[in-house]
Structure 1
């Protein structure tokens, strides 16, 4: 099991990468940095929340873990 702090740090780093990627994709798709940035912010907010929940649920699942 991991700490809540570790889950949050992992989620923040992952979402920073996603924010940068989605901003670029949004810019390419729309031609607008503002629109691309807004799309990326919304996506990051949703993704951050879902990822935290996902990680906490999986931290409770024992399947596939080796106990040393």
Structure 2
């Protein structure tokens, strides 16, 4: 129960928006799935388990970083800009 409230605080931000920590954990979990896929495909293509694991271990690091950056760019691109002053219409 204590961890549950901590996790909610860690992962919650504004409604409908992901926090940085949640984006990071999502990127890691997605890379686990992606890396398993890469290893399986590499094994099918090369027929060598050591080569397949080597390919998978190299791509996991680069793609975690790329996914996290991609997620943050999309989060910022879709953010409502509430700090900008409202456009004022001038009557003449």
Common fold: TM-score over 0.5: yes
Residue 24, structure 1, aligned to residue 45, structure 2: no
Cα distance in 1, alignment partners of residues 25 and 65 from structure 2: 13
Task: Please give the alpha-carbon distance, in whole angstroms, between the structure 2 residues aligned to 1:22 and 1:38.
Answer: 10
Alpha-carbon distance in structure 2 between the residues aligned to 1:62 and 1:46: 25
- The equivalent position to 1:62 in structure 2, one of 78, 85, 89, is 78
Structure 1 stretches of at least 4 aligned residues deviating more than 4 Å after TM superposition: none
Normalising by structure 2, we get a TM-score of 0.64
Query: Number of residue pairs matched?
Result: 64
- Does 2:66 align with 1:50? yes
The structure with the largest helix share of the pair is 1
Cα deviation digits, residues 12-67 of structure 1 (max 9, x gap): 1100001110110111111111100110111111111100000011110127x8xx
Q: Give unmatched runs, 5+ long, in structure 1.
A: none
Greater relative CO, 1 or 2 (CA 8 Å, sep 6+): 1
Give the root-mean-square deviation of aligned CA atoms: 1.5
